[in-house]
Structures are given as C-alpha cells and as structure tokens.
Structure 1
Amino acid sequence: MTEAAGFAFAILGAFNDAVRCFEYIQVARNFDKDFQTAILKLDISRLRLARWGQSIGLDRVEEGMQTLPGIIGSQDDHEQAEKLLRQIVELFTDAERVSAKLKPLGNDSNVDDTVNDLDKATASLHKKLKMLSLKRFNPRNILKKTKWALYKEKYLNRLIEDTTELVNGLVELFPAAQPERERLCEEDGSQLASDQNVSLIAPIVAEQDPELSAAIKSRQSAGGQIFNITFAGSQNHGLQQGYFSGQQTNNFGVPPQK
C-alpha cells in the first residue's frame, strides 16, 4: 500500500468538494417540469455518492493519514478516484454556468427556499434522504456561497446521468468495498422501506440507484410477512387468512357500541 501513500487525504478532499456541490444547488420555482421530483433526484444522487465514500472509509480519513482504511488499491486507482471526483465537481460548475444564462433578470424569488414549497410527502422524503446522506458523510468547510438554481429539466437530467456514470466508475475502482457498500445499502433501504411515501421515489431510485432499489424491495418483501393481530371478545373463532402488513385489531364477539 506504500505506492498509494498520500492519496487517501487527496481523495477525501476531492470527495468533500463533490458532496459539497449538492449544498449549493437548488431547483427554481419556475422549473419547466415538476420541481419536487427534481429535488428528489438530486437527493438520491447525493445519497449514492455519500454511501460510496463511506464504503471505502472516507468518513474515517483524517489529516495525516496516507491510505484508505481497510481498502487496498494501487496508486493508479487512487489517482483515478480523485480524477472522477473532480469531474463531478466540474459537472456542477458547468451546470451552474449554463443556469446563470437562463436566470431571469432581477428575479431572485424563483430561486430561494423552493424546499419550503414541497408538499408534505415530498418534504418528508427530502428530509429523510438528506439525513441519510449526512449520516454517511457530513461535508466539511461549507462555505457561505450563493446558491444557484436549475431551470430546465434537460440540464438536470444531464447532470444526474453524468454524475451517475462517474459514481459507477468510482464503484468499479474498489471492488473490495462491495460487501460494505451492500451493508450500507441495506441500512438505507430499511430506512426508506418503512416510509409510507416511498412509492413516490421508487421509479427514480430504480433508475439512479439499482442497488438501493433492490434493498428497498427486499425489505418491503420481508416486512410484508410480519404482522400483529389483536383479537378481543369472548367468542373469538373463525378463519382469517391472506397477506397482512402492519397491525390489525379485530373485536369479534363484542357488541357494537350504540
């Protein structure tokens, strides 16, 4: 591992910059499609990147550390990882430059606080996805930088697609991290599967993060076999069968209250 000496901290710096990009981007109120879906797409992209970082131990890298904890990689692998992360930063920089040209003159009201306009279900998912991302990696040195907004769906989709491809490349660089990545994915899947609004993001997750999609479905399938039924009354007999999820309370033999 000596050939990779000094690269762990460089990767951490590039990774921190890449994750930090998500702190500065917003979706304009006059986004030409559903801005709520756009926000969730960004949330899922951020979570996948953050999960990759934790899977290779970036959350444990500190100044002075020279190698990634528990992950063996060549110098070329470490250099390529840093390069891919820098490319993610460049994607956001390019998207910001294009969006600046589309921004309505003298109209900042379309930019600020779009998250406050989310409906209850989307706001709940947005909050949970952000919480999961911060659990995986909380970026350091968040600058007081002016936030910028996306206005067009095609630029958002291009940003998401290109970021997804770069994260795919990061995943392929360190195959030894797969067991840890799968474990973290199961944790995220468990948290999301229990959310009553998870169906809203199912198509997005399936497209952007297939591993997470599989983890959510697996958890839902397992959870669907667990149920808790409470019977009350003096004459409880009969047959109840079928597929149940959650708690059911049945009062057989109890006269209805008038």
Structure 2
Amino acid sequence: MAEPFGIVSGAIGIASAFTACIDCFGYIHFGRQFGRDFQTNQLALNCARLRLTRWGESVNIYDDPKLGRQDATAAEIQLAKDALLQILVLFADTKSISQKYKLTATAREDLSVYSTDDMDPKIIVLDNKMRALALQRQKKTQFLKLTSWALYHRSTLKDLLEQIVLLLDEIEKIFPEPHAQVKFVQQEAAEIGKETSDKQSLQLVEDAATGIDSLLQKTVKEVIAGHQYLNITFGGKGLAGDAFSDDWKGGAIGASHKFDGVEVKEGGKGLLGNKYGGKDFFDD
C-alpha cells in the first residue's frame, strides 16, 4: 500500500488513521468547472464524512481497541485499519491529480475555487450542520496539517466517492454495530431537521446521500414523510411511534403525524407519537 501524505502505516494506530480521514474531507474544494453543482457535491462529501464518523462513534474507535467486538481478531482490526489507510491513499491521489492539473493548465484556464460565499443560504445551513455533526465525533486534535486542494473534474470526485463507499461497506461489514448506527443516524436526522425547517432542505440531504449513505437517506426520508398510524387497535398497552429515554439529546423524529382508524378498547392504553424523557410510558 502506498503511504499517503508521508504517513507510515505501521507508525499510527487505527484511531489516528480515523482522525486523519476526517481531516481530509475538510481540505477539498471545488473548481469552477463544477458550476452550481458544487453545492450538491459538497453535501455528498458531507454524507460520506458523516457516515464514516457514525461508524467510528458506533464502535467507540477512540477508546475500544476491539472496536465493539470482544471476539474481534487482530486480522479483522488490521483490515479495518487498512481500509482507513486506503481512504487516505484515495485522498492523496486526488491531491496529486489536482497538482498535476494545475501544473499543465494554460494561462486562460480558471483555477479559482468556490467558497462558502458562493453557496445558497440553505446549503450553507446544511453544510455547517453536517460538518458540525461529523467534527464533534473527532475527539483527537487534527492529525494532518495539509494545505487544501481543489477538484477540477467530476470524474475524480465520482471515483473518490465510489471507492470511499466501497471501503466503508467493508469496515461496516466487519464491525457493523447496527443498533448504535441507527441511534446515531436518528440523532443526525433530528438535528438536521431541527436546523432546517423546510422539507426542501431535507430533500437535498436525501438526494445527496443516494448511493453514499443508505441509512441516512432512509432516515431523512422518514423524517420528511412523518409518522402514519392506520387501523390500530389497543387492547392492552401499546406504543406506536418512537420512544426516547431521559438522556436523549437529538430532538424529535418525524415531520408530522397522521392518524386513521385508531381504537382504544376498555382497559387499553396507547401512545401515538413520540415520548421524550420523563416516566416511561409502560410504567403504571
């Protein structure tokens, strides 16, 4: 494996490799060749970074050397580390492509890049929130100190994202932690929904996550649709919707609630909607 950015693979641990990967997402800019599409491309990068940090959080990458699996073998942990190092290689390759392009570009070619000032206000809000959600999971200081680089070709971005997704698929297959992943993605969707009050903004995230983060795409789609309760009968105790424990900090999931054909029989007890903290619904 090539050593990206001068990093010797055996010299850093998996947590440092994880931190370095998160760093790299922040170094990429988009050249003017992308046109206004650069905004949706930025959101796509945010989705990939958010997915990576969700996995790291779910396996407790900074504090658990077994990555959430006490039966994990040294070979499996090494595979996860190699996947993270390969992500760094991908970033290093895109930087190299950018540098070569700048060296061979003619004087008439525009090598300037887009900045936040070029973004639509809605995209800025989404970009800031998704960036913040990812970076708050980066519990170590920045590992890499690099200069930013620009992407000038859509094909380079496409290849980068496709390969990152394949590597994320690989490490999630070895260390899946599905329950934690669902918990964290619901927090993400709730925070994004709270920050952006309109469905159009949420739709932008759903679209950006397509092919990159199916879990985020599915969850945001559910937020847009809201909860629907049809033809429900409560004979005993029943809960329809989500329940949140006292320590839940992510806000509410679901844009709306729709009820039709709900019946609570004598002696029955039902809750339709969300429960936030306090006494548990099933406690008498």
TM-score by length of 2: 0.68
Aligned partner of 1:251 in structure 2 is: none
Amino acid across the alignment from 1:161:
E
- Equivalent in the alignment of 2:208: 204
User: Per the alignment, in what secondary structure is the counterpart of residue 145 of structure 1?
Assistant: coil
1:252 paired residue number: none
**Cα deviation code 1:199-223 (max 9, x no counterpart):** 1222221321111111112233233
Offset of residue 21 of structure 1: 1.1
Q: Read off the aligned partner of 1:27 and give its amino acid letter.
A: F
> 2:179 — aligned with what?
179
SS of corresponding position for 2:33: coil
- CA–CA distance in structure 2, aligned partners of residues 33 and 155 of structure 1: 17
2:261 maps to which residue? none
Residues 1:129 and 1:39: Cα distance change in structure 2 (over 3 Å): same
Q: Distance in 2 between matches of 1:206 and 1:30?
A: 23
Cα deviation, 1:144-196, whole Å, max 9, x if unaligned, reads 42110001111101101110110010100113x12111111111122223422
Contact 1:32–1:151 (CA under 8 A) maintained in structure 2? no
Match of 2:99, as an amino acid? A
SS of residue paired to 1:201: helix
* Residue 112 of structure 2: aligned partner: 110
SS of the residue aligned with 2:117? helix
Gaps of 5+ in 1: 1-6, 62-66, 228-258
2:82 pairs with 1:94:
no
Equivalenced residue count is 213
Match in the other structure for 2:191? 191
CA distance in 2, matches of 1:124, 1:213: 18
How far, CA to CA, are the matches of 1:210 and 1:77 in structure 2? Answer: 24
Find the partner of 1:13 among 11, 16, 21. 16
TM-score, length of structure 1 as denominator length: 0.74
Q: Percent identity?
A: 29
Alignment partner of 1:225 is 2:256: yes
**What do the CA deviations read for 1:37-82 (whole angstroms, capped 9, x no partner)?**
1211111111111111111002435xxxxx2364321111101001
Say if 1:32 and 1:152, in contact at 8 Å, map to a contact too.
Answer: no
Q: Secondary structure, in 3 states, of the residue corresponding to 1:34?
A: helix
Task: Give the distance between the partners of 1:30 and 1:87, measured in 2 at CA.
Answer: 27
Kindly state the Cα deviation for residue 139 of structure 1 after the two structures are TM-superposed.
Answer: 5.0
Equivalent residue, structure 2, for 1:134: 135
Higher helix share: 1
Q: Give the SS at the match of 1:30.
A: helix
Distance in 2, matches of 1:42 and 1:86, equals 18
Q: Quote the offset at 1:85 in angstroms.
A: 0.4
How many Å separate the matches in 2 of 1:161 and 1:11? Answer: 22
The alpha-carbon distance between structure 1 residues 42 and 139, as it changes in their structure 2 partners (threshold 3 A), is: farther
Distance verdict in 2 for CA 1:172–1:156, change over 3 Å: same
User: Structure with the greater relative contact order (CA < 8 A, sep ≥ 6): 1 or 2?
Assistant: 1
Q: 1:95 to 1:185 in 2, by over 3 A?
A: same
The Cα shift of 1:108 comes to 8.6
Contact 1:59 1:137 (8 Å CA) reproduced: no
What value does the CA root-mean-square deviation take over the aligned residues? 2.4
Unaligned runs of 5+ in 2: 1-9, 228-253, 259-284
Q: Partners of 2:139 and 2:54 in 1: how far apart? A: 11
The Cα offsets for residues 85-132 of structure 1, whole Å up to 9 and x where unpaired, read as: 000000011111112122246789613x62221111111111011011
Structure-2 change in CA distance of 1:57 and 1:105 (3 Å): farther
For 1:75, the aligned partner's letter is A
